[in-house]
Amino acid sequence: MSTTATLGSCHHRLVKTRIIATMGPSCEDAETIRQLILEGVDIFRLNFAHGSHKWLQEVVHRIRAVSEELKIPVGILGDLSGPKIRLGRIAGDELMCSEGRTIRFVRSRESDEPHDLTCTYEKLIDDVKPGDRILLADGTVGLLVTDKADDGLSVTCVVAEPGVIRSKQGVNLPGVILSTPSVTPKDEVDLVWALEHRLDFIGLSFVRSADDIKRLKSLIGRHRSDTHPIVVAKIEKTEAIADLERILAVTDAVMVARGDLGVEAEISRVPILQKEIIRRCNQERIPVITATQMLDSMTTNDLPTRAEVSDVANAVIDGTDAVMLSGETAIGKHPVACVQMMQKIVHESDPLVIGRGTEDPHTHESRRANPITEAVSLGATVVADNLHADLIVVATDSGRTALALSGQRGRVPILAVAHRQDIVRRLCLYWGVTSIQSTLVRQSADALLQFVVQWGLDNDVLKTGQKIVVVGHTNWLGDGHDLLMVHIVP
């Protein structure tokens, strides 16, 4: 990406809360990808539960080609499927489960018996015991396990919450300890593909403990690469809530995956859990994504409900780094309109985010810059706010200083200039940070400042007389000393 690149119609690029859009049939063509980026998408999500590697490769190529053409950095998140359990084929493709009715799960690939169910998880019969709950169809139908056959070939359940179930729908086993690993054989194949195509973020579904994250990172470490993606722990099981502290100690980022979380946990608890997870991630300086059904009604409708608008706004005000669209952009009728609406809500809500102002003792050492840089970053935020500056500029090699500035949740937007393209794309997840690439980050402070000012003027981000606060080093090519400088645009 050229150091003289413009950012197109980039006024929205300085919006602080990031937007993630899921790829799918509704937005896979290059023109729609272009519109989504221009309307504010920072990261595209690839769901490995859907789509072949051939299709995914074509999508990745289009995203990166359009990103390069527009000169707008865009990250790509590869979302591993994890041990998602689904029903097998049901005789007649659907079954009415009346309250009190007896249902069996049988150890078989298929069954023609209307009251016998099969599933993709062969060890379900081994793992459940009498008294356990089995939830179907996104938790709308509930079964209670009453008996397990002596031959180990079936379990008998009674319908506790009635409703209609259909072939291939999801199965949840809240509180049941599964014997399957969180990284399935399919996930391992998808992970190799993701690493070979240098995806920027890897999401792990159905995380149960910190050990799941450690195993994923170990698998990533075996792949010979000069870059490693950011690992995103998807919190959607009660076991993950119980082990949240240990998970936060080892993960790079978090996603509050409210869909399955609302099935595994009591649905009335989900808003409280969401707020608590966001709060803890903010304390630990861990980027956090809020996902699932944020503008769900716009999958088919032109406008969202008022409740959905409030939901997105509250997530932003609570401090989420990013909000994510799923089916709304993947299969919905109005993918571009969804992003436009999300951008409007974010624009209105961002000013209400409360700055933190001081270093939080909960922040793990691995996520901090050195003490001097931490102090300078805090000072830069305070100076920028007090002077009503228009931009904070940070030169960064690893992104750690940009993360320190992001964690302050200051009023002034941050422009991070990095030498490496992979670092630029990672920064697309950080709250308040707009990232660009330039080789000048490793040259003199004056050269970098001249580049940033020209970039700002070219992109209608800066005007004569506005103030820039610069964070960097006095010696860009050596250890040097940390620098905080105020510059007025001539």
Please report the pLDDT score of residue 199 as a whole number: 97
Give the pLDDT of residue 357.
57
Give the residue with greater pLDDT, 371 vs 247.
247
CA distances from 366 to 57, 261, 277, 369 (A): 33, 28, 19, 8
Q: What is the pLDDT of residue 449?
A: 86
Residue 108 has pLDDT above 90, yes or no: no
Q: How many other CB atoms are there within 10 angstroms of residue 362's CB atom? A: 12
Across 118-122, 336-340, 397-401, 439-443, least confident range: 439-443
For 59-71, give the DSSP string.
HHHHHHHHHHHHT
Report the 10 Å Cβ neighbour count for 4.
11
Q: What is the pLDDT of residue 122?
A: 85
What pLDDT sits at residue 439?
Answer: 81
- Asked if residues 485 and 36 have their Cβ atoms less than 8 Å apart, the reply is no
Residue 398's pLDDT is 86
Which band of pLDDT confidence, cut at 50, 70 and 90, is reported for residue 373? Answer: confident
Helix or strand (DSSP H, E) at 305: none
pLDDT for residue 131 is more than 60: yes
- Return the residue matching tokens 């690149």: 5
**Does residue 7 register a pLDDT over 70?**
no
What is residue 358's predicted lDDT score, i.e. its pLDDT? Answer: 54
Give pLDDT tens digits for 455-482.
999 888 999 999 999 987 655 445 556 7
At 484, the pLDDT band (50, 70, 90 cuts) reads confident
Q: Which residue type sits at 305? A: T
The pLDDT of residue 356 is 73
Q: Is the pLDDT of residue 317 over 70?
A: yes
- Average pLDDT, stretch 116-129? 92
Q: Say if residues 145 and 130 touch (Cβ distance below 8 Å).
A: yes
Helices (H), 85-157: 124-127
Domains, in order of start, for the chain = 17-82+181-350 (3.20.20.60), 85-172 (2.40.33.10), 365-488 (3.40.1380.20)
pLDDT, residue 9, reads 42
pLDDT digits (tens, 9 = 90+) for 325-336: 999 999 999 999
pLDDT of residue 50: 87
- Position 447 scores a pLDDT of 81
**Stretch 43-64: mean pLDDT:** 96
Query: Which pLDDT tens digit goes with each residue over 383-426?
Result: 999 999 999 999 888 888 899 999 999 999 999 999 899 999 99
pLDDT at position 364 is: 62
Cα–Cα distances (Å) from 123 to 83, 157, 177, 193, 486, in that order, read 12, 16, 11, 28, 63
pLDDT at 469: 95
Mean predicted lDDT score pLDDT of the chain: 90
More confident residue, 7 or 81: 81
Pair 110, 48: CB distance under 8 Å: no
Place of tokens 């709308």: 140
Write the pLDDT tens digit of every residue in 137-150. Answer: 888 999 999 999 99
Per-residue pLDDT at 472: 75
Residues 408-418: b if buried by 16+ CB within 10 A, e if exposed: bbbbbbbbbbb
Residues 93/99/101/102 CA torsion (nearest 10 deg): 90
Specify the higher pLDDT residue, 329 or 366. Answer: 329
Nearest to 473 by CA among 395, 379, 403: 395
Please tell me the predicted confidence (pLDDT) of residue 481. Answer: 61
